[in-house]
Structure 1
Amino acid sequence: MEKKIIKRNKTKLFFAFLGSVLFVAAGFYILDKPMKLIPGLENIVGSAAIVFFGALSVFAFLFLMNNKPAVIVDETGITDYSTNIGVGHIKWEDITEFTIRKVFNHRFIIVHVKNPEVYINKASGTKKWLRKRNNAMYGSPISIPENNIKHNIDELYNLFLLEWEIRNGDKIA
């Protein structure tokens, strides 16, 4: 099989970065020019916007500067760098099925694996907690969001199925 490289969607990443920077600026504005509607609320809202969207802008910027592909599909498996909690390499023999989920108009491919704990435990701290959360919600710690890839998600799903079927015959769930 020829290696397939799926790139990041840098346009959407740029707009995520830009939007988060604007929310940080709004947070500073709220702190600088409080409306005095509810005493103290401006401090909480402004500070929360700066912290949350500040962190989001850093992650979006780092992803923008990162030239790694989002996903690599080759004869050994799938390599996932599509998100900050991407698990890296997933062997074909570890995969049990693929599903597409939709949450609030955002679609993503769930890669179900035999031993999710192995992929959860490859991380620590917040990444580990997020992988556990994904596993509890979707039955797998591995998800590839449509917004992060520069490829049609249905085509990528079909590519995954085709390559997995070639290696696993009639084991498709």
Structure 2
Amino acid sequence: MNRVEISISKRKMIISLMGCLAFVLAGFLFVLQPSTFAGKTVVRSGSMIMIVGVLSILFFGLCGYFIAKKLFTKTPGLIIDDRGIADQSSGIQSGFIPWHDIKEISTFKIFKQQFVTVLLKDPQKYIDAESNPAKKKVMQANLRSAGTPYCISTNTLNIKFKALHALLTERLQRSR
């Protein structure tokens, strides 16, 4: 099999980073002037507006950090070769998955967001092997909602969703 490297889409990353910055800015406005927004939104309480602002700053600030970090990396987002898949496309990277551990390539959709899912023969083995507690929690949540700890989004990749799904499905079949 030929090695396929799918790069990170700089354009998609910049758009995502701008979105994060907008939410961080809105969070600062909520924290600095909660009375301006209280009563004019669904939330009536100034203190609740402040809490939403702090959460927005923390969550979107963290997302922005990971996006900025990915934006300046030279490594491909996804590598597909005769050994398996190496996903490095997100802040919480899936790492390397050998073909012999993959049961099926499927899809999953949540809130209009589509993911290519890598269904594993023994998903718990991968969760147990993860040492990072935050990443382990995300993997467990993915397993509960999507049936696998590994979900690949094309939001940051230079490939369309259907093309990625077809490519991974075809490569899995070839590996067998």
Give the whole-Å Cα distance in 1 for the aligned partners of 2:175 and 2:32: 60
Among 45, 56, 59, the alignment partner of 1:52 is 59
Give the whole-Å Cα distance in 2 for the aligned partners of 1:140 and 1:98: 10
Residue by residue over 1:4-53, the C-alpha shift from the partner in whole angstroms, topping out at 9 and shown as x without a partner, is: 00111221221111111122122222232332633423322222222222
Identity of aligned residues (%): 30
The answer on whether the counterparts of 1:106 and 1:146 sit within 8 Å (CA) in structure 2 is no
* RMSD after superposition: 1.6
Which aligned runs of 4 or more in structure 1 are off by greater than 3 angstroms?
none
Unaligned runs of 5+ in 1: 169-173
Amino acid in structure 1 at the alignment position of 2:172: W
Structure 1 residue matching 2:145: 3-state secondary structure:
helix
TM (norm. structure 2) is: 0.87
Please state if 1:66 is matched with 2:73.
yes
1:39 and 1:145, CA in 2 relative to 1: closer, same or farther beyond 3 A?
Answer: closer
Give the whole-Å Cα distance in 2 for the aligned partners of 1:19 and 1:4: 30
Give the whole-Å Cα distance in 2 for the aligned partners of 1:40 and 1:137: 33
Please state if 1:29 is matched with 2:36.
no
Please state if 1:11 is matched with 2:18.
no
What is residue 171 of structure 1 aligned with on the other side? none
Q: CA deviation at 1:61?
A: 0.9
Unaligned runs of 5+ in 2: 39-44
Residues paired across the two proteins, number? 168
TM (norm. structure 1) is: 0.88
What is residue 164 of structure 2 aligned with on the other side? 156
Give the whole-Å Cα distance in 2 for the aligned partners of 1:151 and 1:4: 12
Please state if 1:137 is matched with 2:145.
yes
Q: Which 10-residue stretch deviates more, 88-97 or 157-166?
A: 157-166
